């Protein structure tokens, strides 16, 4: 998946809360842009988890090209859970309607990296249920969300005991939902 400018917010926010001693998990890592940026800019121990065979090929290439030490796990994060200090998620979140009106440059991306179910929140519903224990132990959790999904994702976070906050993107759209443990 080609990184979009909005994804930079996820990285910038994570840099505020992750330090050199943090363990960071980049979930739904795709080609690795988030994990690579975090590893390069913070020196954190990063693990990238990606399900897609095709994406893992690019992930490995990008890790090598950027000369960073990132552990790569090929797995479905809805079937496995892991513990980390910082958990970053850029999961598929486009709705059925949004998939039908994609910008031309996005139509080249694999559907599995984009489509989040009828309302775009299918992945997050399953994710928060499955990962609740690991998320409540993490010091920092952040996820990129679709244009109208921030409040719904905040509710999911509140439902597992997190205290979510929202960061707007460069267009003033609520784009990153995150929680910091005090």
- In this predicted structure, the answer to whether residue 1 has a pLDDT above a threshold of 60 is no
Q: 58 vs 92, which has greater pLDDT? A: 58
Distance CA 133, CA 138 (A): 9
Four-residue CA torsion sign, 68, 46, 54, 31 = negative
Range of weakest confidence among 34-38, 108-112, 117-121, 156-160: 108-112
Domain ranges of the chain: 5-180
Model pLDDT, residue 30? 87
- In this predicted structure, the answer to whether residue 173 has a pLDDT above a threshold of 80 is yes
In sequence order, which residues have a C-beta less than 8 Å from that of residue 155 and are 6 or more positions away? none
- In this predicted structure, the answer to whether residue 111 has a pLDDT above a threshold of 80 is no
In the sheet with 86-89, reading across from the earlier edge strand, the strands are 70-74, 45-50, 23-27, 86-89, 140-144, 174-180, 164-168
CATH code, residues 5-180: 3.40.50.150
- In this predicted structure, the answer to whether residue 114 has a pLDDT above a threshold of 80 is no
Express each pLDDT in 128-137 by its tens digit.
Answer: 989 999 999 9
Model pLDDT, residue 6? 73
Report the share of the chain in percent with pLDDT over 90. Answer: 53
Query: pLDDT confidence of 34, banded at 50, 70, 90?
Result: very high
Q: What SS3 state is found at 67? A: coil
What's the whole-model pTM score?
Answer: 0.85
């Amino acid at each position: 998946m080609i990184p979009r400018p909005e994804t930079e917010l996820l990285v910038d926010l994570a840099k505020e809360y992750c330090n050199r001693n943090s363990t960071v998990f980049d979930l739904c890592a795709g080609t690795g842009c988030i994990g690579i940026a975090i590893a390069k800019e913070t020196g954190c121990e990063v693990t990238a988890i990606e399900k897609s065979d095709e994406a893992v090929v690019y992930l490995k290439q990008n890790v090598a090209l950027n000369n960073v030490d990132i552990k790569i796990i090929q797995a479905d994060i809805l079937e496995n859970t892991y513990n980390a200090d910082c958990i970053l998620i850029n999961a598929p979140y486009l709705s059925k309607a949004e998939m039908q009106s994609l910008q031309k440059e996005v139509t080249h991306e694999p559907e599995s990296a984009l489509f989040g179910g009828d309302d775009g929140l299918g992945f997050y519903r399953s994710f928060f249920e499955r990962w609740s224990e690991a998320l409540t132990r993490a010091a920092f959790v952040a996820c990129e969300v679709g244009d109208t999904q921030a409040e719904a994702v905040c509710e999911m976070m509140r439902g597992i005991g997190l205290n979510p906050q929202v960061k707007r993107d460069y267009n003033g759209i609520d784009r990153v939902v995150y929680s910091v443990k005090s």
